[in-house]
Amino acid sequence: MAILPILCYPDPRLHKVAQPVAQVDERIQTLVKDMLETMYDAHGIGLAATQIDAHVRVVVIDVSEERNEPMTLINPEILWASEEKQLGEEGCLSVPGIYDGVERSTSVKVRALDENGKSREIEAEGMLAICIQHEMDHLMGKVFVEYLSPLKRNRIKTKLVKAQKQALKD
């Protein structure tokens, strides 16, 4: 297993649309293990393959308190999303140190393959539902800051570009 570098906004690779996984093989299973290790190392609760510059429809999530309930979603699709929405503060491993309000459906029903290629349906609410929607946005090339006003988005972009340039100097 390996800890992989996470792309940071405004990296243009974060806007690539992920391709469906044709077959859950050893390569995909290794990717899932590496993504879980990377997510746990970064203290995140979700990670999409797009964020590590692998443009396939793979997401890993663990919203458990003990960080011991990993979930893999390969080729996820939302079958149903509640009309009820909730504004919640979101952050992202690709947008370090930035948190802001995003409106999401409070519950969703998703169909996906697990790490063994077995199809399953998941009904999620609360934090898990939000996390699923957030990570699936990544697969479509969308970062949560795109829900914010252009002014806020530009401020975030400027702040992160400045921090990245400073990190290169150090």
HSE value, Cβ hemisphere, 13 Å, CA-based, for 134 = 30
- What is the four-CA torsion angle of 38, 61, 133, 53, rounded to 10 degrees? 20
Active site residues: 135
Q: Taking a C-beta distance cutoff of 8 angstroms, is the pair 50, 138 a contact?
A: yes
Q: Report the candidate in 63, 60, 62, 40 with the shortest Cα–Cα distance to residue 49.
A: 60
